[in-house]
Amino acid sequence: MKWISVKDRLPEYDMTVLVCVADRGLVDFRVVCYCGVLEGWKYLCGKDSETSVITHWIESKYVTHWMLLPEPPTGENYEDNTRIT
């Protein structure tokens, strides 16, 4: 898998990808969902109850590159698992 510059191409709407975030000299990596040019990128950061999740947004100006996620592992412990999107 290769990094794709956001200047070259953006992921499809509602696609979960790995992004590189650069802000004030710091670099971080996050698994996020792309929510379109106007909304930006959101990521899950925890739960506040059994049914509610907490999400945060990353401003698009900080995301420099993205890549597709690898396929999940296979084997007896993963047979019934489905990727969360």
Taking only the tens place, the pLDDT of each residue in 58-83 is 888 899 999 999 987 877 666 665 55
Detail the DSSP E strand segments found in the chain: 4-5, 16-23, 26-34, 41-47, 53-58, 63-68
Strand partners, 33: 16, 42
Looking at residue 5, what is its pLDDT?
A: 97
Residue 26 scores a pLDDT above 70: yes
Q: pTM of the entire structure?
A: 0.75
Instruction: Tell me the CA distances in angstroms from 80 to 2, 29, 30, 83, one per residue in order.
Output: 29, 28, 25, 10
Average pLDDT, the chain: 83
